[in-house]
C-alpha cells in the first residue's frame, strides 16, 4: 500500500502512482514479463519525480532554474541527473546518481531490445529501493509497500544507510573546515576529531563495500542482509552525533 497523503505536496501524486505501479508488479507472480514491466515503470517514475521537482516554483524549492535551462536538460536523462546534482545535491543522501544512470541504461536495453531479454529480480528490487529513497528525499513522503521478508530487510538496510549519510554530512557541516561529501573521506575526517576510530573505519569500509556490491546486483539480498549486518550498520549510526535539527 501507499501513503496517499499528498495534501501538502499534490504534485508528488503523479510520480507516486507510477512508482507504485512498478512496485505492485513485484508483488504479483514473479515472471520475466512482470520484472521487465516493473523496471520500466520504476525508471519512468524516477525520471518524472526528478522533472517534477526541478520544475516546481522556486517559492516551493528555493531553486532558481530558468525555463530555458529546464527545457534543455529535461530532454536527456544524463543531463537531468546533472541538473539534480547541481541544484539539489542535499537531496541525494543514500543516492549515487551513477548507479541510477546504470539502472536507466539497463531499463533502456530491456525496452528497446525486449524480445527474449530478462532482468534479475534482485536488480529490480534494488532499483525500487533507490527510487523510494529518492522520492522520500525530494518530497518528504515515504511510500509504504507490502514486501516479502528479504525486501523488508533490504529496505531497512538502505534506509539506515541514508540516515548514516545524513548524520555524517550534518556532523561535518558543523565543523569549521571544508569537507568532502565522499563517504570514506568524511569518515576519515571524523577520525581526526576522535568521533570515530580505526576500528570504526575498518567496519564501515566493509559495510560500504557490501552496500555498493548489493546496489550493483553482485550479491544475494537474502543471504547478505542478515540481522548481524543490519545490527552492525545501526551500531555505526549510533556512533555518529544526532543532527542538531533533530534536537
pLDDT 10s digit of each residue in the chain, 247 long? 344 567 678 999 999 999 999 999 988 888 988 999 999 999 999 999 999 999 999 999 999 999 999 999 999 999 999 999 999 999 999 999 999 999 999 998 887 765 557 889 999 999 999 999 999 999 999 886 655 545 688 999 999 999 999 998 888 888 766 677 788 888 888 888 888 899 999 999 999 999 999 998 899 998 999 999 999 999 999 998 875 544 3
Q: At what angle do helices 121-139 and 198-215 cross, to 10 degrees?
A: 110
Closest by CA position to 28, among listed 149, 152, 146, 142: 146
The span from the CA of 209 to the CA of 166, in Å, is: 19
- Whether the Cβ atoms of residue 108 and residue 89 lie closer than 8 Å to each other: no
The span from the CA of 121 to the CA of 137, in Å, is: 24
Within a 10 A sphere around the Cβ of 84, how many other Cβ atoms?
23
Chain centroid, CA 240 distance in Å? 21
Closest by CA position to 96, among listed 224, 183, 14, 35: 183
Listed in sequence order, the residues at least 6 apart from 148 whose beta carbon sits closer than 8 Å to its beta carbon are: none
Q: H or E element: which one contains 189?
A: helix 183-192
- Whether the Cβ atoms of residue 111 and residue 41 lie closer than 8 Å to each other: no
Amino acid at each position: 500500500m501507499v501513503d496517499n497523503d499528498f495534501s501538502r505536496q499534490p504534485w508528488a501524486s503523479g510520480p507516486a502512482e507510477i512508482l507504485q505501479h512498478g512496485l505492485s508488479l513485484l508483488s504479483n507472480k514473479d515472471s520475466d514479463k512482470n520484472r521487465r514491466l516493473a523496471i520500466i515503470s520504476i525508471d519512468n517514475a524516477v525520471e518524472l519525480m526528478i522533472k517534477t521537482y526541478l520544475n516546481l516554483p522556486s517559492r516551493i524549492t528555493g531553486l532558481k532554474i530558468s525555463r530555458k535551462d529546464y527545457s534543455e536538460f529535461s530532454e536527456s536523462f544524463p543531463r537531468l541527473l546533472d541538473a539534480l546534482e547541481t541544484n539539489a545535491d542535499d537531496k541525494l543522501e543514500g543516492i549515487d546518481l551513477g548507479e541510477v544512470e546504470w539502472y536507466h541504461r539497463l531499463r533502456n536495453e530491456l525496452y528497446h531490445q525486449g524480445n527474449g531479454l530478462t532482468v534479475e529480480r534482485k536488480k529490480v528490487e534494488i532499483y525500487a529501493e533507490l527510487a523510494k529513497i529518492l522520492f522520500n528525499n525530494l518530497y518528504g513522503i515515504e511510500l509504504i509497500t507490502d514486501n516479502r521478508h528479504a525486501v523488508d530487510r533490504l529496505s531497512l538496510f538502505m534506509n539506515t544507510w541514508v540516515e548514516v549519510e545524513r548524520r555524517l554530512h550534518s556532523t561535518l557541516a558543523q565543523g569549521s573546515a571544508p569537507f568532502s561529501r565522499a563517504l570514506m573521506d568524511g569518515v576519515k575526517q571524523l577520525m581526526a576529531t576522535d568521533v570515530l576510530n580505526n576500528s570504526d573505519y575498518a567496519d564501515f569500509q566493509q559495510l560500504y563495500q557490501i552496500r555498493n556490491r548489493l546496489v550493483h546486483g553482485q550479491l544475494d539480498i537474502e543471504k547478505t542482509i542478515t540481522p548481524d549486518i543490519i545490527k552492525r550498520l545501526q551500531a555505526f549510526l549510533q556512533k555518529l552525533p544526532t543532527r542538531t535539527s533533530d534536537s
